[in-house]
Amino acid sequence: MAKRIDVSGLSAYYGGHKAIDDISMTIEPRTVTAFIGPSGCGKSTFLRTLNRMHEVTPGGRVEGKVLLDDENLYGTGVDPVAVRRTVGMVFQRPNPFPTMSIFDNVAAGLRLNGSYKKSELKDIVEKSLKGANLWNEVKDRLNKPGSGLSGGQQQRLCIARAIAVEPQVLLMDEPCSALDPISTLAIEDLIGELKERFTIVIVTHNMQQAARVSDRTAFFNLAAVGQPGKLIEIDETERIFSNPSVQATEDYISGRFG
Amino acid sequence: MSVITDRRTVANDRNPLPVSLKQARLPRWTPPVLALVAAGAGCGIGLAAGLDSTVQWGLIAVLLFIAGTFVLSAAVEGGRQAKDRLATSLVWVAFLLAVVPLASLLWETVARGSKVLDGYFLSHSMGTLPDAMPGGGIYHAIIGTLEQVGLATLIAAPVGLLTAIYLVEYGRGRLARAVTFFVDVMTGIPSIVAGLFVLSVWILILGFGPSGFAGSMALAILMMPVVVRSTEEMLKLVPNELREASLALGVPKWRTILKVVLPTSIGGITTGVMLAIARITGETAPVLLLVWGAKTINNNPFEDAQQSLPLYVFQQWQQGSEASYDRAWAAALVLIAFVMILNLVARGIARWKAPKHAGR
């Protein structure tokens, strides 16, 4: 059920400002790809173009092609809502719906998209919470509000919510930046398990994290503030961290940036 | 790298470091005791000087209190604390100035209004009772107010709600700016103008007679901008992250608004609508122009003149007899109680519907 992503010549704009310039890359199914790079280099923007969330921002606009297997996400007649059902997303800050219980949060994507039987929902919610390694912690309080959980639990709740709709690809925008090391470890373990089923793309500022969880790593950089971000290189994670082919990557990774 | 300037206070000749961290403080009971002393002194001076206005007594007491705290604090605690005390006492005085008229208004209305307020008063209309005679009631006015305000809410709340949703969730560019501008203009419309507008269109041009519904339309015009404004503010408070979370799950925008944005803000929206209802309940001018007022019960808001509470108060006051004054006060008390209950209900709903954060 995981799909290959094939990006070619992709640029994204905020109004008149070009945020990323001419990016091409291939992301294989059932792999974890990490995006690293300095702040403002367009990693998150690029991530958001992969499920058409970029255009939700006022003035957001995209040029180029993103092929999911063989279908262009930006082709004519493509419904962005259908795209987002196929490509799920987890955000930087945990954002469970405050009016809903833990159960309803996980069921939200399904319920808001169609009608399911109560027993079906129960099974899917349990499966998703188990998939997010949260089931044992919350199984006795599924009817309590999701905002009562700790930050790390909330983030795993958001992951459960995202995988409940059975997407093909899971995008994660700095999913651990608001979490403590133990919750981070839990999420990283989870990513390792999830990659059996999903294609995962993760943005991170933490290079050790990229080295730990990802199969391939892409380094983004920008020439100067105000310039669009560019993909510098993408390669096997091991190579990027031991023997990158571009000097800028090595400078960034070894902390000699700027 | 820019040079970081240290903005902390640096000890120097003008601003020496304190020798000890402890400082002389006035005891906690000083301000209330001072207030009592000042009140007593104000009354004493007022009596002695033969001032007949109690407002003047109060002013003297207030000035004595402010000056007294400042001087005492400056002597014991030093300049900075004295300034702090001065500001605190000014805030207290401002608070009292705001509360005194409110309390006196409530007291006055309760004292005078409770004279004729009973079950009979609430359940009977004026009928054919002559105005100078005691008796009669406000049943017809209560029915009128409930129907007119209810109809106005039915018109204004959905329109206002949808307008606010458009402005926050969809509105971009010129149309949204124009709508915002006209809502702002509408907020400032005097109620008599709204009444005259409906009068000229509905009664003079289209030829309908006076009715509760005509009044409702004018009230709806007054209510709409208030609903739009308050709902807009509430919708803006919903974090964008929640919208994005829902969209990223593949939920269409309209369902996101319906199932995530509105439930998150429903408490505030209800409060806003209730406060808008409370605001139009007390409107007299449009009702006077369009509903005309009646002495008998008219349950049909779509035909013939009706009564409403504020208009009843106005008309009874105009009669000028002892009995009609009593009835006006009692009706005013009912009106205040009605608005207060609405406010309490709004608060209750807001608390009940607020997103829950506890529950660990």
Q: Which residue of A has its CA nearest to B254?
A: A112
Q: A5-253 is classed in which CATH architecture?
A: 3-Layer(aba) Sandwich (3.40)
What are the pLDDT digits (tens) for B23-65? 788 888 888 899 999 989 988 888 888 888 888 888 889 999 9
Q: What is the mean pLDDT of residues B155-179?
A: 94
The answer to whether the CB of A48 falls within 8 A of the CB of A70 is no
CB contact under 8 A, A98 and B255: no
Q: Give the tokens for residue B197.
A: 């507008």
Query: Domain check: are B185 and B324 in the same one?
Result: yes
Q: pLDDT class for A257, splitting at 50, 70, 90? A: low
Average pLDDT, rounded, for chain B: 89
Query: Domain check: are B228 and B321 in the same one?
Result: yes
In a domain, B15, yes or no: no
Distance separating alpha carbons of residues B231 and B214, to the nearest angstrom: 26
Query: Domain check: are B144 and B107 in the same one?
Result: no
Query: Domain check: are B100 and B244 in the same one?
Result: no
In a domain, B131, yes or no: no
Distance separating alpha carbons of residues B139 and B121, to the nearest angstrom: 7
Q: How many residues does chain A have?
A: 258
DSSP string, A114-179: S---HHHHHHHHHHHHHHTT-HHHHTT-TTSBGGGS-HHHHHHHHHHHHHHT--SEEEEESTTTTS
Query: Domain check: are B83 and B163 in the same one?
Result: no
Query: Domain check: are B209 and B325 in the same one?
Result: yes
Q: pLDDT class for B8, splitting at 50, 70, 90? A: low
Distance separating alpha carbons of residues A238 and B237, to the nearest angstrom: 45
CB contact under 8 A, B247 and A84: yes
Q: Whose CA is closest to A225, among A17, A33, A15?
A: A17
pLDDT reading at B101 higher than 50: yes
Q: Quick check: A34 contacting B, CB < 8 Å?
A: no
Task: Supply angle C-alpha B116, B117, B121, rounded to 5.
Answer: 90
What are the pLDDT digits (tens) for A26-61? 999 999 999 999 988 899 999 999 999 999 988 899
In a domain, B273, yes or no: yes
In 10 A of CB B193, how many CB atoms?
A: 15
Query: Domain check: are B157 and B240 in the same one?
Result: yes
Q: What is the mean pLDDT of residues B197-212?
A: 94
**Residue B2, pLDDT score:** 47
**Residue B360, pLDDT score:** 35
**Residue B10, pLDDT score:** 55
| % pLDDT > 90, chain B | 66
Q: Which of A 89-108 lie inside 8 A of B, CB atoms?
A: 89, 91, 93, 95, 97-99, 108
Strands (DSSP E) contained in A4-151 are 5-14, 17-27, 32-36, 60-68, 71-72, 87-90
CB contact under 8 A, A58 and B172: yes
In a domain, B210, yes or no: yes
pLDDT reading at A258 higher than 60: no
Report the gap between the CA of B145 and the closest CA in chain A (Å).
35
Q: What is the mean pLDDT of residues A213-239?
A: 91
Distance separating alpha carbons of residues B228 and A59, to the nearest angstrom: 25
CB contact under 8 A, B360 and A148: yes
Can you give the residue ranges of every domain in chain A? Answer: 5-253
**Residue B46, pLDDT score:** 87
How would you label B147-174 residue by residue, b for 16+ Cβ within 10 Å and e otherwise?
A: bbbebbbebbbeebbebbbebbeebeee
pLDDT reading at A173 higher than 60: yes
**Residue B9, pLDDT score:** 53
What's the total number of domains in chain B?
2
The tokens 């943005």 sit on which residue?
A203
Domain ranges, residue B67: 30-113
Of A44, A81, A93, A140, which to mutate for an interface test with B (greatest number of B Cβ within 10 Å)?
A81
In 10 A of CB B15, how many CB atoms?
A: 8
In a domain, B244, yes or no: yes
Distance separating alpha carbons of residues A166 and A131, to the nearest angstrom: 11
The answer to whether the CB of A12 falls within 8 A of the CB of A46 is yes
Q: Quick check: B254 contacting A, CB < 8 Å?
A: no
CB contact under 8 A, A84 and B263: no
Q: Domain containing B178 — which CATH number?
A: 1.10.3720.10
**Residue B78, pLDDT score:** 84
Q: Which of A58, A88, A147 sits opposite B248 (nearest CB)?
A: A88
What are the pLDDT digits (tens) for A107-148? 998 887 777 888 899 999 999 999 888 999 999 999 999 888
CB contact under 8 A, B356 and A147: yes
pLDDT reading at B359 higher than 50: no
In a domain, B23, yes or no: no
**Residue B358, pLDDT score:** 44
pTM for the model stands at 0.83
Distance separating alpha carbons of residues A108 and A100, to the nearest angstrom: 9
**Residue A9, pLDDT score:** 93
pLDDT reading at B236 higher than 60: yes
Q: Which residue of B has its CA nearest to A53?
A: B248
Query: Domain check: are B178 and B298 in the same one?
Result: yes
Q: Which of B245, B357, B358 sits opposite A91 (nearest CB)?
A: B245
**Residue B120, pLDDT score:** 93
In a domain, B2, yes or no: no
CB contact under 8 A, A97 and B356: no
Q: Quick check: A147 contacting B, CB < 8 Å?
A: yes
Query: Domain check: are B105 and B144 in the same one?
Result: no
